[in-house]
Amino acid sequence: MMAQSKQADFFPAVLFYDVTVRQDRFSLRDYILMHVLLAIGLGMLYESIAITIVCLLSSLFLLFFYRPNTHSMDALMLTSFIALGAVVLIYAGNFEMYRNGYYLGGSDDLYFENYARYAIECDMYTMADINARTAFESFDYKGFLMLLAWLMRFCDLFGGYHTICFRIINVHLWLAVALMISDYYRKHFPQNERTSRRIFLLTALFPHALYISGHVFRDTVGIFLIVFMYVNWDLFFRKTCSWPHRLWIALITLPALYIGYWVRKFNFFLILAIMAFSFLFMEVKNKKRHYLICLLLFLAALPIVMQQFYLPQMMNFFYTKYSSYLLTTNPGVSQFIFSEPLLPFGIFIRMAFGLIMPAPIWIFAPFLRSLSLNTVIESVVSIGTVVQLHGLPYILFSFRSMKKMSLTFLFTLLVVVSTTFTFRHFIMIYPFMITLFLHGAASQPYERRRSIFIAQSIFIAFLLIFYALRQ
């Protein structure tokens, strides 16, 4: 049973208190009406019928993950409105600074769209078509290009593709992640309704995740597939799951693995790991025998996976490539972190540094630099990191009661920090991290939360000073 207190929660989630305890004022009809108006407004703003159609369809898609007994329609409407607003502001901020709507004036997001258009020009319709082209031979995102190409073809039916189209889909995929992870928590801890709703709100509105999803990046597609598989395979090994339902889960796993692999290969391995963790923590009578079987299966499967998919070579390639890039583009303290070999201590340094990414150094950017949309966005993202830092100690309090999620969180973090360490890829840990630290915070009495909050605030202040001086 979670510890309760008559005093207000001494934690950032208190910001969502009123939203999580009131009964819904809005209905499904209001949700649809709001999105019809938003879709029309966005279509008029960017002069694109395709945006209107995509916004309507993606908002309807989001309803597949809405559960009236778990989720608040008010909260869903609020988060969807803010998410779509974030798309507009991020695009406008980029346009204000770079004269186009892309990250840094044209990063991977622009390349993805250009290559997708090239795939259309070359009449590529399937993965076999794109794999046959030597121009794409070394690409790790062929599947994402095909997804974009098919979206562009669809949008061409309504006047042509606009970059806002995929960004709308991206933020709705992120909201679907928030709906799934909060529903998962509610099923496992039905007595903690308030915490499950806070998990939805904080996940859905987490600034860094919204910022990443507000661009044409593939990371949100990846985490959507991972969380979708996480909640379904958790159900697969539960005694209450019927065999027809298990068959359905097994069938939808095949396309999820296929899409995940071609969007980014590491998605495939993370989904396999999640399936293994679900089997490891399934309900059994003889746990010792079960763990022995798991160990033997792991030892038998690991060499096969490593050999068939060249896993060591793949990890070494990404580690070498991204470490060199990070060393050349990040001065200051980053030089020490990324020059340290992974073993024996480098991996732990990277994990610690990864948990404070992105560094909240721009929290006062609107006051220190000329005021612009970009500085405001950077400040909001930094505020999200401060909330993240305040929540990290509570993750430890969740390890015992949420073993599988804790292991998934640590494994995903390990994969990210030991290979790419790109700011976008940290979106992979957020659904698990937020669930763990809100659950841990809810389990602690007010006095302990207050002490942790004060200690964390002092630590963050020193961290900001140290980081700024080392740059």
Are 271 and 152 in contact by the 8 Å Cβ rule? The answer is no
Of residues 139 and 272, more confidence is placed in: 272
Of residues 309 and 234, more confidence is placed in: 234
**The residue type at 438:** L
CB atoms within 10 A of CB 314: 16
Q: What pLDDT sits at residue 23?
A: 65
Domain boundaries, the chain: 12-470
Distance CA 456, CA 391 (A): 9
- Dihedral sign for Cα 202, 207, 210, 216, please: negative
Q: What angle do CA 134, 221, 309 make, to 5 degrees?
A: 50
- Mean pLDDT of all residues in the chain? 85
Measuring CA to CA, how many Å separate 51 from each of 46, 82, 129, 265, 456?
Answer: 8, 17, 28, 30, 43
- Which residues, other chains included, contact 203 with Cβ-Cβ below 8 Å and sequence gap of 6+? 177, 178, 181, 182, 209, 430, 431, 434, 435
Q: Which of 354, 341, 359 is nearest to 412 (CA)?
A: 354
Q: What pLDDT sits at residue 308?
A: 75
Per-residue pLDDT reduced to its tens digit, 82-135: 999 999 999 999 999 888 889 988 888 999 999 999 999 999 998 988 988 877
358 upstream amide cis, omega within 30 of 0: yes
Measuring CA to CA, how many Å separate 275 from each of 225, 278, 313, 398?
Answer: 13, 5, 23, 21
Residue 326: which pLDDT band, with cuts at 50, 70 and 90? low
Q: What pLDDT sits at residue 21?
A: 45
Q: What pLDDT sits at residue 1?
A: 40
Map tokens 């308030």 to a residue. Answer: 194
Distance CA 358, CA 263 (A): 24
* Mean pLDDT value of segment 260-280: 91
Q: What pLDDT sits at residue 215?
A: 94
Q: Is the pLDDT of residue 397 over 70?
A: yes
- Which residues, other chains included, contact 351 with Cβ-Cβ below 8 Å and sequence gap of 6+? 413, 414, 417
Of residues 403 and 172, more confidence is placed in: 172
Tell me if residue 158 falls in helix, strand or coil: coil
Pull the structure tokens for residue 266: 């590491």
- Which residues, other chains included, contact 360 with Cβ-Cβ below 8 Å and sequence gap of 6+? 382, 383, 385, 386, 389, 460, 464
Tell me if residue 66 falls in helix, strand or coil: coil
- Which residues, other chains included, contact 361 with Cβ-Cβ below 8 Å and sequence gap of 6+? 382, 464, 467, 468, 471
Q: What pLDDT sits at residue 202?
A: 95
Q: What pLDDT sits at residue 390?
A: 86
Q: What pLDDT sits at residue 449?
A: 84
- Which residues, other chains included, contact 366 with Cβ-Cβ below 8 Å and sequence gap of 6+? 375, 376, 379
Q: What pLDDT sits at residue 467?
A: 64
Per-residue pLDDT reduced to its tens digit, 331-389: 666 666 777 777 777 788 888 888 887 777 777 666 667 778 888 888 899 888 888 88
Tell me if residue 170 falls in helix, strand or coil: helix
Distance CA 361, CA 276 (A): 38
Q: What pLDDT sits at residue 324?
A: 66
Residue 219: which pLDDT band, with cuts at 50, 70 and 90? very high
Are 263 and 428 in contact by the 8 Å Cβ rule? The answer is no
Residue 145: which pLDDT band, with cuts at 50, 70 and 90? very high
Q: What pLDDT sits at residue 48?
A: 94
Per-residue pLDDT reduced to its tens digit, 19-62: 444 567 888 999 999 999 999 999 999 999 999 999 999 999 99
Q: What percent of the chain has pLDDT over 90?
A: 47
Per-residue pLDDT reduced to its tens digit, 195-207: 999 999 999 999 9
